[in-house]
Structure 1
Amino acid sequence: MRIDILSLFPGMFTGVFDQSIIGKAQQRKLLDIDVTDFRAYSDDIKHHTVDDYPYGGGEGMLLKPQPVYAAMHALNQQHPGDKRVILMDPAGKKFDQTVAKDLASSQHLVFICGHYEGYDERIHRLATDEISLGDYVLTGGELAAMVMIDTTVRLLPGVLGNDQSASHDSFATGLLEHPQYTRPANYAGMQVPDVLLSGNHQLIAQWHAKESLRRTYLRRPDLLQKVTLTLEQQKLLAEIQAEETKD
């Protein structure tokens, strides 16, 4: 996958994308990330202005269309072909794991990071997708783009050490992930559940399924309204509800 980012603050991405899983993915040529400062494409040769006051009045400054369009034109010249162009926008579709899976199916993603009060409306015409990280407003789109890229990249084949890891993540199945433990089996009196030490893979799988449902029921019951539970899961959920009511 290739990812291009248009930003006024390219330095924000350096430490993030040079480290950990994303850094390793780039080293292994599974991923190519490039950040472009679209201020360099401003037609204001002297001051490199990228924003201006809104017509009709209003608070703050808006990003002008010209630098962003010029940067996109240069990008298309250098890398022709289909692209998903994602505009970071608080009014966009809310980002979640389903959106990440959709983005992970693309070969080339472009993230446009806004700043200041907002965009000139004509910039929206460049986007194939307008996405929001959540119902709040950040100083700029850079942090949102980092989160979306990290979430998307880890779904690419070969990026994680174990390709099955992502399929068991929280939200991957619509439910939260079950609790997990590692050595030692007893730490400061806190014991790993016996079933996980039993070596019985069938019982362990059943425990995983039930505890995934329990965690979702207790912490994010809203998610249960969005998934279709199997008959077995419905039975497990009824057991959990009875157990939690008793407690």
Structure 2
Amino acid sequence: MTNPLILDGTRVAEAIKEELKARIHTLESQGIVPCLATILVGDDPASETYVRMKGNACKRLGIESKRIHLDKSTSTEQLVEVIAQLNADPLVHGILLQHPVPHQIDERAAFEAISIHKDVDGVTALGFAQNAFGYADYPSCTPAAIIAILDYYQIPIAGKHAVVIGRSPILGKPVSLMLLNRDATVTICHSKTENVAEMLKHADIVIAAVGKPKFIQGEWLRKGAVVLDAGYNPGNVGDVDYDACLAGASAITPVPAGVGPVTIAMLLKHTVDAATRLLRH
């Protein structure tokens, strides 16, 4: 077999951001500066890093980043009130609530408080439903990134058998629906699935989103499978045993520099999309 194609997420992300630059310039000429509000509750170091990274990405592109940092003792009611204020602010186009939130907060209630028109991270139930029907303005960013990578490298989806490992409401489930809407045959595996290895032997496309380091083994793969690793675990490793899977895959994303950079690029794109809606209404 020829060497596998390395699906370079940094390259895909740069292409997306390059296209956004002209759109941002057009918006600015109309007096509109795209703005993403990020809400961080508590002081989780990893979350602080993620929020900072997203803010820096906004700044480099000319998107305003409005950062709101709430105390770890914040209640669900207080958080929902902050979100309501952002919903009502015409200068804020996208709202991102950083996950996870402290235990006393009803995370689902907080997500549902975000206006569908500002749900650029695709976390609301309505956004999920729109994604299922194939017309979401802002699907969840990591699933959108996975589809963007496949499209950038012109990897066929229609008619292919995709196996998704993981069923989270913002990754495994929505990406399965997006693949289904693109005419793939989709199998979803999860913690109760028996013999995951056997399932993968029939997969043309493998989406790893299980949250277990190096879970997917090379011998599980069908020869020539396309592997997209959406996992990120301590030690900069994904959910795929990269070295073991490299030999048999026809294409594979590395970790880091695979799905991650494109996820952030899709968040920026959705924010610009939300700001662009102002020109249409």
TM over 0.5: no
* Higher RCO structure (Cα 8 Å, ≥6 apart): 2
Structure 1 or 2, whichever has the larger Rg, is 1
Given the two structures, how large is their TM-score scaled by the length of structure 1?
A: 0.31
